[in-house]
Amino acid sequence: MSWFAIGLALVLALQDPPPAPAQDPPVQTPVQTPVQTPPVQTPPVQTPPVQTPPAPVVEPPASAAAQENAPVRVPSFAALPRDARGRVDEQAWLAALDALAHAYPDRIERFSIGKTRAGRELVVLALGEHAGAERDHRPAFFATLDPRSPFAAGAATAELPPPASFVFLDSVAALCAQPSDAWTKFLKENALYLIALPEPDRALHGPADELQAGPAVELARDFPQGWDARGGAASGQGPYPLSRAESRSIAEFLQRRSNIACAILLAREGERAAAPGAGDDASPAGANMRKLSERELASLPASLERFAANELLLPVLLLEVPLPGELSSSDPATLVARRAGALPHLVAGPLRIERLSNTTWLVDVPVRNAGFFSTAGEGQRPLVRPRSLSLKVSGARWISAAARSGERESFEELPLRAPPLFLDALAGGEECTLRLVLEAEERSTLVLDFDSLRSGSLRLAQPLVSVVASGK
């Protein structure tokens, strides 16, 4: 390379470079730097506490016992629905019976004693405490709707008031809910067997009954006493006594319950007049209650009343029940409870004990029927010695026994056979004295157990010492 070329290159290198072509200036994009904002000191918001409702408490399911003890509403029997012919709705009737028995299980028991021709149950309500002495061994009443009631006889219409037995049941329910002293004592010491509907096929209405006629035979003329074959079907009687299932069931029930000492027919006031010629024979038995006389019973052939009086020797009372809402202070159930004092019941003592020798004792025992009715009923069958009252002795051995009753001054010896010792029946208010000669060691406990079909039982216990005069 020549020195000229080298020099020229040096000159060009030392000169300013040619200007660059014009270009748009670069866009200066502002840098977004975060602004350091100091934290704002805001006062804390005082949020009121939220009132959260407490969680509902889930009650554990009631036990079976608690459910049984829950109060049960007993409907009014007098207000049960009836059809155009006056018959009571069958399902409502059965539900009301169940409610009453369930509400007071310790005082009321419901059971059936048979079935009707249509298959309905003949229901009995037994009233009386289950505790203590057996209910079926206490002096008792039997009560039922009067078979001659228009309601029982199939003449019911919608215009007729409810039957007397339904009003009586309402009275029973009210007294069980708020018992009086008289009612409490009655249920403890006595019993009542009630058949509110002796003819269910006539009185109840069910879906299958629309075209069915009621029974042709009247219950009021289907019992043996006074039954006459010449009466015929026109008089309402059957081809033979006890031809209906209802009458057979009632007769059998009354014969088995020997503790029944009185029968009561329930009728509405003025529904049943005294029989012609009864006159003053119909002795009063209290407000709205009277005893049917022998002359009145004689005018009722083949009746339940005649069966109760002549076959079972029971006094028969007619209890007239006021209409619903017209009950006086003495409602019908209260009248029965107050009348319980007329039932036969035994009172004995005080004992008189005398020592005759080292092991021989003479014991005098006064015994009295504190009721109005006899321990054997109204009468006595001919040539039949009543066996309604008996005595058993424990803690000593029999040697001899004698009795003195009424105004007799001397004792009459009693036959000693196999125990128990049977005694003569006691009329209402009658007292007798038993004289027992016994063998026992000193301070042995003498136990006397009196038992009666209609007057209940009584126990006396006394240690044998030289001379004692005490007892119940």
Mention the CATH class of domain 346-470.
Answer: mainly beta
Strand order in the sheet with 421-423: 421-423, 389-394, 445-452, 457-463
Is 71-341 a CATH 3.40.630.10 domain? yes
Rounded Cα–Cα distance for residues 325 and 170 (Å): 11
166: CB partners within 8 A, 6+ apart: 77, 78, 80, 196
* Dihedral (CA of 88, 94, 97, 102) sign: negative
Kindly report the number of other CB atoms within 10 A of residue 3's CB atom: 7
Which burial class, exposed, middle or buried, applies to 223 when counting CB atoms under 10 A from its CB (0-12, 13-18, 19+)? buried
Residues of the chain with pLDDT under 70: 1-71, 131-133, 150-159, 207-214, 233-234, 272-287, 324-330, 377-387, 466-472
Burial label for 253, CB within 10 Å (0-12, 13-18, 19+), is middle
pLDDT given at position 301: 87
Residue ranges of domains in the chain: 71-341, 346-470
**367 φ, ψ (degrees, to nearest 5):** -130, 135
CA–CA separation, 190 and 192 (whole Å): 7
239 burial (CB, 10 Å; 0-12 / 13-18 / 19+) is exposed
Residue with tokens 């009453």: 100
3-state secondary structure at position 308? helix
> What pLDDT is attached to residue 209?
57
- Dihedral sign, CA of 286, 289, 291, 293? positive
- Residue 400's closest CA among 364, 367, 436, 356? 436
Identify the pLDDT of residue 340: 93
